[in-house]
Chain A
Amino acid sequence: MELFLQTLLNGLLMAGVYALVATGLALSLGVVGIVNFAHGEFLMLGAYLSYLLFALWGLDPLLSLGLAFAAAFAVGGLTYYGLIRPVLKAPELNQMLLTFGLSVILQNLALLLFGADTRVVAPPYQAATLTLGPFFLGAVPFGAFLLSAGLLLLLQAFFTRSRLGLAMRAVAQNRLAPGLLGIEAEGVYLLAFGLAAALAGAAGVMLSVMLYASPTVGFLFTLKSFAIVALAGLGNLKGVFPAALVLALAEALVSTYVPGGGGWVEAVFFLVLFLALVGRSRRAL
């Protein structure tokens, strides 16, 4: 029983970071209508920024969070303005190819600048542990979970309490009607895409502490985010956290209880994606 509860705790903590990354993807998909394959590269940007600030000036990754959020927002905004906006009305395949190409370019740019080497940061609390009776909680995963939850709650408040947030939801629901009511769709798209990148950038800082910074660190999270977004329902922001929880718990349970499960854990999101897509198509029949 103790092992089972510890496994659930492990899954719950991981779900926070998954939800943060996937919310960004859901935003760009739901509001802007773009399948962004380069989403993980914004995460990579945050991870490298955290590493650089730590390596050059010894800046604690916690302090890098705000900067990474702002930097990724700026890069996201520029990406939207320079690359996404011109193809908004292009066929979906063209849009996907564009973001896929952007992902390859950003990965190779990182390869050129930093090489393929894995970079790590070393804040003093990296391996700190909290004990709750017989259970162990890594301080960093727990902190990342709280931060993710905090950011997602702020985002929720922004969507429900602010005019801009309401405008975003309106654009997500219908692309034409908000324009008739005087909502500037262009600005909303820019903000949504920037915000999506910023959430990934913040997640990247957390992952630089939990894992590492490397040119490919974001790729796996992009794939998992697609599974989460598919499970939540495309563009459904409220469904992202429960979906992230399902994926993270499924991974933790497979890893703990299936013999040789550690090797299978990366296949879980494929299974989740497959089941979500099949389930949806059946419901649609």
Chain B
Amino acid sequence: MRKVWLLIGLLGMAWAQTQVKVGVLLPLSGPSSVSGKAALNGIQLAADEVNAQGKVRLELVVADDGTDPAKAVPALTKLLTVDRVNVVIGGLASGVTFALSGTVKQYQPLFLAIGAASSVVEQAFEGYPLFFHYHPWDYHNVAAALQFFRYLAQAHGAKKVAILYEDGPFGSAGIKVYQEQLKNLGYQVQAEPFKTGSGQFTPVLTRFKAFAPDILYWIGYDVDALPIAAQARQVGLRPKLIYGAPPSWPIGFEKNPLSQDVAGMTAWLPTVSNTASRRFVEAYRKKYGEVTEEYMAPMGYVIVKSLAQAVERAGSAQKERIAEALAGLRMDTPFGPLSFKPSDTGKTRYQGFGPEVWFQFQYIQGTRRPVFPKEKATVPFRYPGEYYLR
């Protein structure tokens, strides 16, 4: 008799459990793979936790977009037509997400965008009712970076910025506007393009020497980080701050002495001390045996957690009902509170995080430490950096 009751109980649980098949489309290879793999780790961690709780069951179907629109579009089409998912988590690289917009509009899934900061993407998804964008937009990123540059000018007297930007869409989009904004802050700006991965910076850096910049600001990929840090020293360029804005940093860079005092911007680090962040770090360490510094890991985690909560509230696997529940959701995350509101331009309806999540860090003795704004700093900002003082 007890077995019958147990069976009835299990059937009842299964009946109450809402099952959702979720497509996960991320760059697991190509230039954005470091971020993509970090995001996948966060997604899988959250899915395990959700499934263990038993109220919602998430089945993940993972595909690699290769950081390449030509691979991403067929991969998404397969997820939507062969695997028949109704919910997709993806869209990390802007160029790839832009290319996905047509397929998304055609098959109309609930699309939960993890990255894709470019406002070109915002335009592409304008009016699409099932588009939830968690990551801040590029104008939020610029606002956060400019706040830092304003501080550098006012508190440290920085006057000259030399910008090295990669000549692809990532580095070049909006570079002119960016230069103007820096000039408006009172900076003298000299900007030079470069080919990412070429590793040849000595001629440009030699030219920058005559300009004698206070800040060497590079916008490129992880492959450029070490050559720039090394070659700046080799040509005798002595900026007071080396500031980088790659989507991810190279593996082992933090252990390289050349990374000392190099600064960058991120939305999260394991040292962020709110409760949700501490809980995430602990769970991540337990599952993977290490701690990540990539903010895409908690971003993936947050998306799955918010999705599970929305599914639970909606009590349905229907995408429109999940979207409705998601729109009214409020939750604490490792980045701070999350709720959705229309984007600043009004083009998309559901924007998650804004400029407030960004902060500046520095590599200090082998680890990334928050240094600005002051309320988020865990150590004093080191200006001028070691590369100037040597």
B170: shortest Cβ distance to chain A, in Å? 13
Q: In the complex the two chains form, what is the Cα distance from A216 to B198 in whole Å?
A: 11
- The answer to whether A266 touches B257 (Cβ under 8 A) is no
B177: shortest Cβ distance to chain A, in Å? 17
A267: shortest Cβ distance to chain B, in Å? 9
Q: B183 near A: Cβ within 8 Å?
A: no
Q: For A260, list chain B residues within 8 Å (CB).
A: 192-193
- The answer to whether A263 touches B207 (Cβ under 8 A) is no
Q: For B226, list chain A residues within 8 Å (CB).
A: 118, 120, 211-212
Q: In the complex the two chains form, what is the Cα distance from A124 to B258 in whole Å?
A: 9
Q: In the complex the two chains form, what is the Cα distance from A126 to B229 in whole Å?
A: 10
Within 8 A of A (CB), among B187-235: 192-195, 197-204, 206-207, 210, 222-223, 225-227, 229-231, 233-235
Given A210-B227, A255-B204, verify A122-B258 contact (CB < 8 Å): yes
Chain A, Cβ-Cβ closest to B235: A136
Chain B, Cβ-Cβ closest to A209: B230
Q: In the complex the two chains form, what is the Cα distance from A117 to B31 in whole Å?
A: 8
Q: In the complex the two chains form, what is the Cα distance from A121 to B204 in whole Å?
A: 24
Chain B, Cβ-Cβ closest to A255: B203
Q: For A140, list chain B residues within 8 Å (CB).
A: 230, 234
- The answer to whether B250 touches A120 (Cβ under 8 A) is yes
A199: shortest Cβ distance to chain B, in Å? 19
Q: In the complex the two chains form, what is the Cα distance from A124 to B233 in whole Å?
A: 13
- The answer to whether B197 touches A220 (Cβ under 8 A) is yes
- The answer to whether A116 touches B30 (Cβ under 8 A) is yes
Q: For A265, list chain B residues within 8 Å (CB).
A: 194-195, 198, 200, 203
Q: A129 near B: Cβ within 8 Å?
A: yes
Q: For A103, list chain B residues within 8 Å (CB).
A: none
Within 8 A of A (CB), among B302-319: none
Query: A203-228: contact bitstring with B at CB < 8 Å (1 yes, 0 no)?
Result: 00001001110101000100000000
Within 8 A of A (CB), among B163-203: 164, 167, 192-195, 197-203
Q: B128 near A: Cβ within 8 Å?
A: no
- Of B167, B203, B229, which is within 8 A of A252 by CB? B203
Q: B78 near A: Cβ within 8 Å?
A: no
Stretch at the interface among A6-14, A29-37, A70-78, A173-181: A6-14
Given A10-B202, A262-B164, A262-B194, verify A117-B210 contact (CB < 8 Å): no
Q: A251 near B: Cβ within 8 Å?
A: yes
Chain B, Cβ-Cβ closest to A253: B203
- The answer to whether A120 touches B234 (Cβ under 8 A) is no
- The answer to whether B197 touches A216 (Cβ under 8 A) is yes
- The answer to whether B198 touches A266 (Cβ under 8 A) is yes
Q: In the complex the two chains form, what is the Cα distance from A119 to B236 in whole Å?
A: 25
Within 8 A of A (CB), among B2-48: 29-31, 33-34, 37
Q: In the complex the two chains form, what is the Cα distance from A276 to B197 in whole Å?
A: 25
Q: B328 near A: Cβ within 8 Å?
A: no
**Residue of A120, A140, A256, A263 with highest tally of chain B CB at under 10 A:** A120
Q: B256 near A: Cβ within 8 Å?
A: yes
- The answer to whether B233 touches A255 (Cβ under 8 A) is no
Q: B286 near A: Cβ within 8 Å?
A: no
Q: B278 near A: Cβ within 8 Å?
A: no
Q: In the complex the two chains form, what is the Cα distance from A253 to B207 in whole Å?
A: 11
Q: A138 near B: Cβ within 8 Å?
A: yes
- The answer to whether B236 touches A251 (Cβ under 8 A) is no
- Of A118, A139, A207, which is within 8 A of B222 by CB? A118
Chain A, Cβ-Cβ closest to B253: A120
- The answer to whether B195 touches A211 (Cβ under 8 A) is no
- The answer to whether A111 touches B203 (Cβ under 8 A) is no
- Of A3, A122, A136, A210, which is within 8 A of B199 by CB? A210
Q: B330 near A: Cβ within 8 Å?
A: no
- The answer to whether B31 touches A116 (Cβ under 8 A) is yes
Within 8 A of A (CB), among B248-276: 250-253, 255-258
Q: A233 near B: Cβ within 8 Å?
A: no
Q: In the complex the two chains form, what is the Cα distance from A154 to B305 in whole Å?
A: 63
B31: shortest Cβ distance to chain A, in Å? 7
Q: A131 near B: Cβ within 8 Å?
A: yes
Q: A16 near B: Cβ within 8 Å?
A: no
Given A6-B235, A115-B29, 19 additional A-B pairs, CB 8 A: A10-B203, A116-B33, A118-B222, A118-B225, A118-B250, A119-B250, A120-B252, A127-B229, A127-B234, A136-B235, A137-B234, A210-B227, A211-B223, A212-B223, A256-B204, A256-B207, A262-B193, A263-B193, A263-B195
13 A–B contacts, CB within 8 A, in A order: A118-B226, A119-B251, A120-B226, A120-B251, A122-B252, A122-B255, A122-B257, A136-B236, A138-B235, A140-B234, A141-B202, A141-B234, A262-B203
Q: A interface vs B, CB < 8 Å?
A: 3, 6-7, 10, 14, 55, 111, 115-122, 124, 126-127, 129, 131, 136-141, 207, 210-212, 214, 216, 220, 251-253, 255-256, 260-263, 265-266
The 7 A-B residue pairs with the shortest CB-CB distance in the complex, in nearest-first order: A138-B234, A255-B203, A263-B193, A263-B167, A122-B256, A262-B194, A127-B233
